[in-house]
Amino acid sequence: MVLMANSRKDPKGRKLREGESWRKDGRYSYRYTDIRTGKRQTVYAQDLPELREKEKKIAKDIDDNILTDNAIKKMTLNTLFERYMATRELADSTRINYTRIWDNRVREEIGNIKVVQMLPSHIKAFYSKLSKAGYAHSTIKNINTMIYPALEMAVDDDIIRKNPARGSISDYGRPAEEREALSISQQEKLIEFVKQSNVYNTYYPMLTIMIGTGLRCGELIGLTWKDVDLKARRLNVDHQLIYKNLGDGCRFHASTPKTNSGIRVIPMTQEVQQAFEEQRKINFMFAKDKSIEVDGYSGFVFTAKSGRPLMPYGVNSILYNIVDAYNKKEVQDAKKEHRKADLLPKISAHIMRHTACTRMAECRMDIKVLQYIMGHAHIDVTMEVYNHLSDRERIEHEIARLDNVAINF
């Protein structure tokens, strides 16, 4: 029986090995058992040399413990991403955001490529396309944080030997705009203008609280009066508000911090305490509705006239309008006084937070304390502020030395 098996030949008289067959349609096939799954698998080829090249690859995959199951081989990047997401414990808002980004950016571009056929060039070409379309490096980096770990899981599962996304991010995308903190002079001009303005003075307490606490925009608009302990001068931060479509239409949602570092109790300065007291008076004066509820939270500190929480973009809009009004007045004043106008830069809620962090660092606050107050998950983020300060101070010190040097010509 063994001799008969070994004597099998194709129409050209070539001996066929175990598992090989010649089919009546002219193709060749090779049947084998995947030792990992126990399933019988079959591959096909138009001629015998092509079939034996496939056999070599299968043998190498088996030696390297790589799965050879045909169903696995057909898996696309889209399917892999879905499997990867099923392994992650994520907040609903984060999961929906990841899925939205994938559907809008990745799914139709490279999502249908089979994982086993995915090459580094596929991913680099995709990132290059995004870069040419004007996407920021940070956006491309965010996409890579979904593609890379999904493919890394495929490596761990022995579907592929190495991750084609490794080292692919490079410097694709336009660089992020550097967000500078306000200088002390700019901060003073901003606050004084708001304080004296008949139009914007109701925002004075909010701006004072932003600079005095370093709250994120979502944390600021999510503050309720239950979070504010004026007697103990403490501010409890354990949630934020987001305005997104989480499958039920665009509306406010309360969200807990992604890491434990986001949960904190911030001590108030006397100035911040007074700002909260002033804000309470403003809310009472405008008789704002306290009953509006978002996921169990009510009695929001900062609201629109309706009592509804401020929109995230609403906070930035307020800041943009204030800066615009200041700069228009400054241009007029400078013209009358025959001097160059000293304009304020564009200011956002993030710049206000960065300014708060910078002021605290300038006071030489302990770096671990500053990390806690800012809610930074990693101290590297806090260190960047300190390093920037140190660089600036060294430059200023070296320039100041010139005042003490006699320059001889």
Tokens linked to 349? 């809620």
Q: Is residue 167 part of a domain?
A: no
319 plus 359 within the same structural domain: yes
pTM of structure:
0.66
Q: How far is CA 263 from each of CA 91, 105, 157, rounded to the nearest angstrom?
A: 15, 32, 36
| pLDDT tens sequence for the chain (409 residues) | 333 444 688 888 888 888 888 888 889 998 888 766 677 888 888 988 898 888 888 777 766 655 556 667 788 999 999 999 999 888 777 888 899 899 999 999 999 999 989 999 999 999 999 988 888 888 899 999 999 999 999 888 878 888 999 988 877 777 656 668 999 999 999 999 999 999 999 999 999 999 999 999 999 999 999 999 999 999 999 999 988 877 777 888 898 887 789 999 999 999 999 999 999 999 988 877 778 999 999 999 999 988 889 998 999 999 999 999 999 999 999 999 999 999 999 999 999 999 999 999 999 899 999 999 999 988 988 898 877 776 666 666 666 666 665 444 4
59 plus 150 within the same structural domain: no
Q: Is residue 303 part of a domain?
A: yes
Q: Is 50 exposed, middle or buried (0-12, 13-18, 19+ CB in 10 A)?
A: middle
Q: Is residue 403 part of a domain?
A: no
200 plus 326 within the same structural domain: yes
113 plus 13 within the same structural domain: no
Domain of 29? 2-67
Count: domains in the chain: 3
Residues 310/327, Cβ–Cβ less than 8 Å: no
58 plus 81 within the same structural domain: no
99 plus 56 within the same structural domain: no
What is the DSSP secondary-structure string of 231-300? TTTEEEE--EEEEEESSS-EEEEEE--SSGGG-EEEEPPHHHHHHHHHHHHHHHHTT-----EETTEE-B
15 plus 149 within the same structural domain: no
In the beta sheet, which residues pair with residue 48? none
List active site positions.
Answer: 216, 258, 350, 353, 376, 386
